[in-house]
Amino acid sequence: MKLNDLLDEYVLECQIKNQSKLTITNVKISLSNFVKSLDDVGTVENIKGVHIKQWILKRQGEGIQANTINTGLKHIRAMFNYACEEEIIDRNPMERIKLLKQTKRVIKTYSNDDVKLILNSFNGKTFFNVRDKTIIVMLLETGIRRNELRSIKLDDIYEDSIRIRGKGDKQRFIPISLPLRKQMIRYQRARMAYIGDAECECYFISMTRKQLVLGSINHIIRKLEDLNLSVKPTIHSFRRFYASRMLENIDLLFLVSAPGT
């Protein structure tokens, strides 16, 4: 079997397993680079560990970081595991290939002053200002992903928790903190006034009263770049802030109610 054919079959398997579109796209990008670099090897059966080591050296020569190469190796291992399960090959050529040693980095996250600055930047009373602030508070208080946020539906909102639909359609419940509850009450009032007689099952709605597109969330976050924060505003910055505050057990309520906010 040609390596390209194995890649197509493996991607189909990922789709059958109901993996997210984003995950499948990343798999395709990662494995396409590997497949292209081994065009001259021939069939899947001809691939040996040495070929994978050569691919690693090539990527290192291109200045690719170890964590990116390791992500590719994980995808390659999974594809060849599939090939073994389907009896396309007898032995996984990744069997003795180890992940590269990664340099541990200290990841900087938002300071308390950054968060105050972010929250205070949403002082308007228009629907979009209230909606955008609610989105930011929800990201800070829950650490959910961008697609998880836009996928929240009205019937996912409970009295004290939110049902989150994650990767692979896995569901989990996240508690609603006091500051988030306060902001959600404001948003729900603004949402009812804005949506009128229109109907939309999505919790966060767009200008056209439909589900938010991913680009809209990116736009909301990009607007924060003008605040001169200590960390570049991205969706991952909010997830890191949430994770760090979970470890420190600091409630956002303290930041919201602190003097000068």
Helix and strand numbers (H, E) in the chain are: 11, 2
pLDDT at res. 258: 47
Bridge partners of 172? 164
Q: Shortest CA distance to 221 belongs to which of 156, 152, 140, 159? A: 140
Location of structure tokens 């990527």 = 59
User: Which helix (DSSP H) or strand (DSSP E) does residue 165 occupy?
Assistant: strand 161-165
Positive or negative torsion for Cα 86, 92, 94, 95: positive
Residue 166 has φ and ψ, to the nearest 5°, of -95, -160
Query: Does residue 250 surpass a pLDDT of 70?
Result: no
Please report the pLDDT score of residue 248 as a whole number: 65
Band of pLDDT at residue 261, cut at 50, 70 and 90: very low
Decide: pTM greater than 0.85: no
Q: Which of 100-104, 197-201, 250-254 has the lowest mean pLDDT?
A: 250-254
Neighbouring residues of 74: CB distance < 8 A, sequence distance ≥ 6: 99
Question: Domains plus CATH for the chain?
Answer: 3-85 (1.10.150), 112-257 (1.10.443.10)
Residue 194 contacts residue 127 (beta carbons within 8 Å)? yes
Q: pLDDT tens digits for 80-129?
A: 999 999 999 999 999 999 999 987 766 788 988 999 999 999 988 899 99
Q: Please tell me the predicted confidence (pLDDT) of residue 100.
A: 93
| Phi, psi of 127, rounded to the nearest 5 degrees | -55, -45
* Residue 259, pLDDT score: 44
Query: Which are the contacts of 13, defined by CB distance < 8 A and separation ≥ 6?
Result: 82
Q: For residue range 120-162, list pLDDT tens digits in order.
A: 999 888 999 999 999 999 999 999 999 999 999 999 999 999 9
Share of the chain above pLDDT 90, in %: 70
- At 171, which helix (H) or strand (E)? strand 171-175
The string of pLDDT tens digits covering residues 214-237 is 899 999 999 999 998 989 899 889
